[in-house]
């Protein structure tokens, strides 16, 4: 029974009553704020209309944070079903931030001395404290203080005004018999050579809540294979039961449906039901979903760590996740975002913290085949974030702090370990845990889980475990596309870069207008800066981004021109990073873009914005990660083919065309080739770029059907790095590529039409765009708008910010949830650098 709705909250300073009174049925709350749980105080206050336009400009600064220095009460009235003799009632809290006094029906059942820690989970036997009607639960919540192991947004955005104080994960009541079950999971081993056999181990913990010895059975149903296993529990005993094929033959699986990550196969899931019975009675039951898969790690000859899935080496391609600043993500918003990850051809998200107010995020990653790196944040490793002195091992120093960290990790892993999407635990972020804590973490993992782990996301050497094998050396600010191919020391395309990226990814203008006041849109100033990161080390102004755009693409006289150039620079920068890590296979093992999303309206470090509208970088990532693709290597002017599919590909053809800035063909060639699975190889070398122009790459099958295409704009003058001035943030340029010529492109004309059909829960739009002129149509951007002229989101275009050669025609598909669109009132707007903007009505096919 989940206690989610009809909670009420109030600041303690506004109340005279104690917990005894507030948790009594005689108390009648007045002027309390209505809430649903999970929630933070700021999330509730915002939902109650206390703050409007909080994320516009610098309005966030207006929040009076002193109101959160005192405790807040969360109050809930609930009823219970009729219980039977011998049944036990347990109250669960999956997450309280940060400390709490918990009162139930006038009795303090737990105090803040014991209920402490964001990532701890608590349960209380309330069997003798409740009745059927009129139960009152009152929770006095205290926010985290400096030095507490809190949730952490680090420097990505402003700190949550309330430090995310609240009940941030579910509260629920379980009614069971004498024996209950918890922490159920399934560990799987796969024959990675044949992929035709798997061995499962079911683990569950049984708790005998009675004072008697109990004999019974653990009974299971796996895909209609029913099994029983006898168990004896002593009075008050807690016992973990581990069932393997040796005990239960049904746990040996022939021809298993394996769980694969995105683009390698289907993420198949199984259902398992367990129950405990004694004397013919069911005392408790659980149902879980799990995936049959085997994850592993390896270290290559250069000392770089990589990961395997079902025996296959997988290039990790992902981005860093964050929850909403007030933890208000919904299941719908989460599903949109994980669908976006899949749509971008990524296979991983990294959680720098155990994000998620429920299992929803993890369930969706299981469903869509998105792997997860889950673990601790650098929030606890740097004094400016943690709020207390830190050393080379961060801020967790005392025995008490280490105890809390270990117990928090235990709770999180037991809570999450059933999810096949999680492939590695991160026990540190920027730094290593101190050796004593590291050993305790390792001992814990040896007891409760079999996944790989990383001690740090950075290049570190543990005195206990040796080198981490991964790197986190930046950059985090803009670097030109060729950087990723040239750099061999820091962030370039070798090894596993666990967080990096080319800086700001400016959202589309429509989103900028939502976060920046109209009178501060141009030129980009302090209001823009406030929506950069909130790092003390940099990335907190538009200075670098603006300077790079102006030096490479030219000055802008207004916001429209600036945004157009920002779109182009964002696209080429982001595409090159992912392409380089694919082109350098097998020297590369992983790349995590910092970041995927934004906790609030931001200009930096995301691929789709806070309003769930994809940025140009989103489509650059989708393009860069097409499983079978042609890629241009900026460093040596070669064309590289990449095959990340699970199959060898034969008899395919690369078509290469080089154009000058006037769309005249300078060079063209066709190359037939074969490429093995999980491989990159050079197809052709081109002459050094001697004139401004364009490069068009198309990959065709043996029937001349298009597999993929890629399009580049190239400068005669090259970006030249000032390598001696490299920092962890970025490597500056001392000479700049020249794309000012793009402003002189001749206009061309395109024709367009759009039809739609209904497909399940979506509308599927097909937009046909044809270049009718003799000039290249550059960076065409189709956008679906509503009756107010605002872009629709979520939206899933097969391609966007694409270009068309003279006479070329393309059909671009777009999926839009039916809930997001009313076709009669929506329009399709098609714009580009050198075409006239067109607005089309939608027509049913």
In order of start, what are the domains of the chain with their CATH numbers? 7-175 (2.60.120.260), 179-290 (2.60.40.10), 316-469 (3.20.20.80), 628-744 (2.60.40.10), 750-844 (2.60.40.10)
Taking Cα atoms as reference points, which of 430, 613, 394, 581 lies closest to residue 510?
613
**For residue 374, is pLDDT > 70?**
yes
What's residue 190's pLDDT?
99
Q: Which two tokens stand for residue 134?
A: 């009129």
**For residue 351, is pLDDT > 90?**
yes
How many CB atoms sit inside 10 A of residue 845's CB? 10
Which residues neighbour 599 within 8 Å (Cβ) at sequence distance 6 or greater? Answer: 153, 156, 157, 322, 323, 324, 325, 610
pLDDT tens for 724-775 read 999 999 999 999 999 999 999 999 999 999 999 999 999 999 999 999 999 9
**For residue 479, is pLDDT > 80?**
yes
Mean pLDDT, rounded, for 215-222: 98
Give pTM, 2 decimals: 0.97
In 88-161, where do the E strands start and end? 88-93, 96-97, 99-104, 107-110, 122-125, 135-142
pLDDT tens for 618-632 read 999 999 999 999 999
Q: How confident is residue 820, by pLDDT bands cut at 50, 70 and 90?
A: confident
What's residue 845's pLDDT?
76
Mean pLDDT, rounded, for 351-358: 97
Q: How confident is residue 85, by pLDDT bands cut at 50, 70 and 90?
A: confident
Greater pLDDT, 560 or 825: 560
The fraction of the chain above a pLDDT of 70, given in percent, is 100
3-state secondary structure of 537: coil
pLDDT tens for 142-183 read 999 999 999 989 999 999 999 999 999 999 999 999 999 999
d(CA 208, CA 213): 8
Contact 605, 528 (CB under 8 A): no
Mean pLDDT, rounded, for 411-437: 99
Q: How confident is residue 844, by pLDDT bands cut at 50, 70 and 90?
A: confident
**For residue 402, is pLDDT > 70?**
yes
Give the C-alpha distances (Å, rounded to integers) separating 87 from 3, 554, 603.
20, 74, 54
Q: Which two tokens stand for residue 226?
A: 């029913």
**For residue 825, is pLDDT > 90?**
no
Contact 22, 138 (CB under 8 A): yes
Q: How confident is residue 787, by pLDDT bands cut at 50, 70 and 90?
A: confident
pLDDT tens for 287-308 read 999 999 999 999 999 999 999 9
pLDDT tens for 125-143 read 999 999 988 999 999 999 9
Instruction: Say how many CA atoms lie within 13 Å of 741 toward its Cβ.
Output: 16
Contact 525, 635 (CB under 8 A): no
What's residue 823's pLDDT?
65
Mean pLDDT, rounded, for 663-667: 98
Taking Cα atoms as reference points, which of 596, 629, 37 lies closest to residue 323?
596
């Amino acid at each position: 029974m989940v206690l989610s709705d009809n909670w009420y909250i109030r600041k303690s300073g506004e109340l005279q009553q104690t917990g005894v009174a507030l948790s009594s049925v005689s108390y009648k709350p007045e002027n309390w704020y209505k809430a649903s749980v999970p929630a933070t105080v700021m999330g509730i206050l915002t939902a109650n209309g206390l703050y409007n336009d909080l994320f516009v400009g610098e309005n966030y600064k207006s929040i009076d944070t002193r109101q959160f220095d005192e405790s807040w009460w969360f109050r809930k009235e609930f009823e219970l079903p009729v219980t039977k003799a011998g049944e036990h009632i347990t109250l669960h809290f999956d997450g309280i931030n940060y400390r709490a006094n918990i009162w139930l029906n006038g009795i303090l059942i737990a105090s803040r001395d014991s209920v402490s820690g964001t990532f701890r989970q608590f349960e209380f036997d309330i069997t003798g404290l409740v009745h059927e009607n009129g139960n009152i639960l009152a929770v006095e919540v205290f926010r985290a203080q400096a030095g507490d192991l809190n949730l952490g947004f680090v420097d990505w955005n402003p700190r949550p005004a309330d430090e995310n104080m609240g009940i941030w994960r579910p509260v629920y009541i379980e009614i069971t018999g004498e024996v209950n079950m918890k922490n159920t999971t399934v560990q799987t081993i796969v024959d990675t050579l044949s992929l035709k056999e798997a061995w499962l181990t079911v683990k569950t913990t049984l708790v005998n809540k009675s004072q008697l010895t109990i004999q019974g059975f653990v009974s299971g149903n796996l895909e209609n294979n029913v099994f029983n296993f006898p168990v004896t529990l002593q009075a008050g005993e807690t016992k973990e039961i581990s069932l393997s094929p040796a005990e239960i033959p049904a746990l040996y699986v022939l021809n298993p449906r394996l769980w694969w990550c995105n683009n390698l196969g289907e993420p198949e899931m199984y259902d398992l039901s367990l129950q405990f019975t004694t004397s013919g009675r069911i005392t408790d039951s659980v149902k879980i979903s799990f995936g049959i898969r085997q994850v592993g790690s390896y270290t290559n000859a250069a000392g770089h760590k990589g990961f395997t899935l079902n025996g296959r080496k997988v290039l990790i391609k992902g981005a860093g996740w964050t929850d909403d600043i007030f933890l208000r993500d919904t299941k719908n918003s989460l599903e949109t975002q994980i669908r976006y990850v899949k749509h971008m051809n990524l296979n991983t998200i990294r959680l720098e913290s155990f994000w998620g107010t429920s299992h929803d995020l993890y369930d969706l990653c299981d469903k869509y085949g998105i792997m997860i790196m889950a673990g601790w944040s650098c929030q606890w490793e740097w004094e400016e974030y943690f709020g207390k002195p830190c050393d080379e091992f961060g801020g967790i120093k005392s025995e008490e702090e280490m105890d809390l960290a270990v117990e928090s990790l235990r709770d999180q892993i037991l809570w999450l370990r059933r999810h096949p999407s999680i492939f590695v635990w991160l026990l540190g972020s920027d730094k290593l845990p101190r050796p004593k804590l590291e050993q305790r973490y390792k001992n814990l993992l040896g007891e409760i889980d079999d996944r790989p782990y990383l001690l740090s996301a950075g290049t570190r050497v543990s005195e206990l475990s040796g080198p981490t094998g991964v790197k986190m050396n930046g950059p985090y600010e803009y670097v030109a596309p060729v950087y990723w191919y040239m750099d061999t020391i820091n962030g370039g395309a070798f090894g596993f870069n666990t967080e990096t990226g080319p800086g700001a990814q400016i959202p589309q203008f429509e989103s900028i207008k939502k976060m920046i006041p109209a009178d501060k849109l141009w030129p980009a100033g302090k209001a823009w800066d406030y929506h950069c990161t909130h790092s003390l080390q940099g990335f907190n102004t538009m200075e670098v981004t603006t300077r790079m755009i102006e030096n490479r693409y030219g000055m802008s006289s207004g916001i429209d021109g600036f945004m157009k150039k920002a779109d182009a620079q964002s696209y080429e920068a982001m595409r090159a990073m992912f392409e380089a890590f694919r082109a350098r296979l097998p020297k590369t093992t992983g790349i995590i873009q910092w970041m995927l999303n934004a906790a609030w309206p931001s200009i930096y470090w995301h691929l789709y914005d806070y309003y769930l509208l994809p940025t140009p970088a989103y489509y650059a990532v989708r393009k860069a990660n097409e499983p079978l693709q042609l890629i241009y290597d900026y460093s040596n002017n070669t064309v590289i083919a990449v095959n990340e599919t699970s199959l060898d590909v034969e008899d395919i053809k690369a078509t290469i065309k080089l154009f000058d800035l006037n769309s005249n063909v300078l060079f063209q060639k066709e190359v037939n080739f074969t490429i093995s699975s999980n491989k990159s190889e050079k197809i052709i070398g081109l002459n050094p770029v001697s004139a401004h122009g364009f490069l068009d790459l198309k990959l065709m099958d043996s029937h001349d059907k298009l597999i993929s295409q890629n399009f580049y704009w190239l400068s005669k003058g090259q970006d030249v790095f000032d390598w001696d001035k490299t920092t962890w943030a970025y490597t500056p340029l001392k000479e700049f590529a020249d794309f000012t010529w793009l402003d002189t492109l001749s206009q061309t004309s395109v024709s367009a039409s759009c039809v739609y059909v209904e497909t399940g829960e979506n509308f599927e739009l097909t937009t046909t765009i044809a270049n009718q002129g003799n000039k290249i149509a550059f960076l065409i951007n189709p956008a679906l708008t509503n009756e107010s002229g605002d872009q629709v989101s979520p939206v899933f275009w097969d391609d966007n910010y694409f270009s068309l050669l003279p006479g070329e025609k393309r059909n671009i598909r777009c999926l839009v949830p039916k809930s997001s669109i009313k076709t009669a009132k929506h329009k399709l707007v098609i714009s580009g650098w050198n075409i006239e903007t067109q607005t089309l009505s939608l027509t049913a096919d």
